[in-house]
Amino acid sequence: MKKKIIITLDGWSSCGKSTLAKQLATKLGYTYVDSGAMYRAITLYFLQHQVLWTDEKMLTEALKKIELAFVEDSATGKSNIYLNGKNVELLIRELVVAEKVSEVSAIKEVRNFAVAKQQEMGKQKGVVMDGRDIGTVVFPEAELKIFMTADNEIRIKRRFIEMRELDSNVSIEEVKKNIESRDYTDSNREISPLRKADDAIVLDNTHLTTGQQFEIAFNWANEKSSM
Ligand code: DC
């Protein structure tokens, strides 16, 4: 009999964390949680409501008005993030949000807000969550921690293809600049910077297909859930 575990996937922007996390969750019958989508949705709210996040009072008031939920689309089986009852899955992927999300996610109050929700979602185990601090801060006791990485050039190319579908005017230079600056901010911020947990396993997928990386990670998950 296999036990339900928590699987964390942390790593740099656009190194395929969500692809692998979704594959694992589907195969294992687990819940997939995209923690980055939560920071993106908070950033979107701030942009839509002209919230000055450097103003502590305004920030605290704004956070009280934010309701986040993941809802599965019954037609596609995909999980979408809802911000105050509205599906914002596509809006949060736009470059205007990507350009501000690292700044917003470095704020202590924002992190406390998001981490509390993430920990709540993991209470029953059977969760695959991807992000930057999931194995280090959100679930330091997780049974399987994966730290994902891939060469910069590959990551930029992958994100460019994704962004192109949303906005045909986006250039590869813009995507490169955004990825590099987010990686820098995410790994150098004071609170919960991106780093590999001591007990995380590194998965470099530069030369792996999504199928190959899945096989590797699925074996790890089986091992950990049989222990
Ligand atoms: O995974 P993503 O690229 O959608 O995440 C968007 C941003 O959110 C990322 O640049 C940093 C932030 N983030 C974070 O600080 N902590 C997490 N657990 C997940 C994302």
The average pLDDT across 80-87 equals: 98
Residue 169 has a pLDDT of 92
Q: What is the pLDDT of residues 115-154, one digit of tens each?
A: 999 999 999 999 999 999 999 999 999 999 999 999 999 9
Task: State residue 1's pLDDT score.
Answer: 74
* pLDDT tens per residue, range 187-200: 999 999 999 999 99
Whether the predicted pLDDT of 76 surpasses 90: no
In a domain, 73, yes or no: yes
pLDDT bin (cut points 50, 70, 90) of residue 2 is confident
Tokens encoding 157 = 């190319």
CA 193/CA 206 separation, integer angstroms: 23
Contact residues of ligand 1, CB 6 A cut-off: 13, 35-36, 39-40, 101-102, 105, 131-134, 182, 186
What pLDDT is recorded for position 185?
93
Pocket mutation for ligand 1, best pick of 20, 104, 118, 132 (most atoms within 8 Å of C-beta): 132
Residue located nearest, by CA, to atom 16 of ligand 1: 132
One-letter amino acid for residue 85 of the chain: G
Specify if 193 maps to a domain. Answer: yes
Shortest CA distance to 217 belongs to which of 21, 32, 26, 79? 21
Please choose from 19, 100, 101, 121 the residue to mutate so as to test ligand 1's pocket, defined by most ligand atoms within 8 A of CB: 101
| Count of C-beta atoms within a 10 Å radius of residue 29 | 8
Whether 160 maps to a domain, the answer reads yes
What is the rounded CA–CA span in Å between residue 184 and residue 193?
Answer: 10
pLDDT tens for residues 5-37?
999 999 999 999 999 999 999 999 999 999 999
Closest residue by Cα to atom 20, ligand 1, is: 36
Q: Could you tell me the CATH number of the domain that includes residue 52? A: 3.40.50.300
Tens of pLDDT along 52-70?
999 999 999 999 999 999 9
Decide: helix, strand or coil at residue 2: coil
Q: How confident is the model at residue 167 (pLDDT cuts 50, 70, 90)?
A: confident
The secondary structure of 7-66 as a DSSP string is EEEEESTTSSHHHHHHHHHHHHTPEEEEHHHHHHHHHHHHHHTT--TTSHHHHHHHHHT-
What is the domain range of residue 127? 6-225
pTM here is 0.94
User: Distance, CA 183 to ligand 1 centroid (Å)?
Assistant: 10
Round to whole Å and give the CA distance between 45 and 197: 31
| DSSP-based three-state secondary structure for 199 | coil
Asked if 154 contacts 162 with a C-beta cutoff of 8 angstroms, the reply is no
In a domain, 1, yes or no: no
The count of domains in the chain is 1
